[in-house]
Amino acid sequence: MSAGPDPTINGLRLVVTAGGTREPIDPVRFIGNRSSGKMGNALAAAAIRRGAKVTLVTAGPAPPAQPGLKVVPVETAGEMHAAVRDALIGARVLIMAAAVADWRPRDVAANKLKKGADTLTIELVPTVDILRALRDDDVARDVFVVGFAAETEHVIDYARAKLDAKGLDLIVVNDVSREDIGMGADDNEVTVIGRDGTQQTIARAPKADVADAIVRIIADRLR
C-alpha cells in the first residue's frame, strides 16, 4: 500500500459512497442487500493515505474517525442521492462504491406489519438511479466519476453497458456470484474499465490492497 501522499490527489477532495441502502417496508423491516461497506471504507482510507480529503457517504458501518475524513450517514437511496449532491460541491472525484437498492416499497407502513394473512404483496417502484441522475447534473460537472458494478453473469459486457449509459470515467466490476470475494468478504477481485476501452484486472487481494490499486489507477487518470 502507498506510504505517503500522491502529488496528483494530495489536497483534493473526494466523495466516496459505501454500504447497502435500506428501503423501509415498515418501522422495523426493510429491503436491503449484502453489502458490508468494507470496500467503500477501504477506498476512503486509501485516498486519505495519498493525501486526499474524503467525504464518505455511507449506509453501512462507519470507519473510525481520522484526520481528513468526514462521514455522512444515510439509509435510503434518496438520502444518499441528496447527500452526494451536497458533498460534490468543490469535489474532484466521486467513487460510487455503495450498493444502492434498485427498488423501494411504494408505500411504507406506519406501524409494524403483523402476521396473519397467508401472503403479503408489496408493490415496488424504482429508486433514484444516482449515477444516471448525476450524468446531467451541473453539480457533477468536471467531477471524475467512478462507478461500481456487482454482476453475476456477463460481467464485463454489463459493466461496459453501465459505463456508457451513465457517462462514467471508470467502472469497477466484480463477480458477486463468488462467495469468496465481494459483498461481505474481506477480499475482492475486480476489473477496472475505462471510458477509452482500457481494461485492467486487479487480482484477488485484501480489500485494502484492492482499494489502493483502484485509487492509484484514478490518480494515473487524473494526470
Write down the mean pLDDT value for the chain: 94
Residue 116 maps to a domain: no
- Give residue 180's pLDDT: 81
- pLDDT tier at 3, thresholds 50, 70, 90: low
Residue 151 maps to a domain: yes
Task: For residue 219, give the C-alpha cell.
Answer: 490518480
Residue 199 maps to a domain: yes
Residue 119 maps to a domain: no
- pLDDT tier at 185, thresholds 50, 70, 90: confident
Give the mean pLDDT of 113-117. Answer: 85
- Give residue 190's pLDDT: 96
Residue 135 maps to a domain: yes
- Give residue 115's pLDDT: 86
Residue 118 maps to a domain: no
Residue 56 maps to a domain: yes
Residue 161 maps to a domain: yes
φ/ψ of 42, rounded to 5, equals -65, -40
- Give residue 1's pLDDT: 53
Which CATH number characterizes residue 48's domain? 3.40.50.10300
Share of the chain above pLDDT 90, in %: 87
Q: Which domain holds residue 157?
A: 13-100+126-222
Residue 99: C-alpha distances to residues 8, 74, 104, 163, 223 (Å): 28, 13, 14, 16, 28
The domain total for the chain is 1
From the candidates 10, 33, 111, 188, give the one annotated as an active-site residue.
Answer: 33
Q: Please say if 33 is a catalytic residue.
A: yes
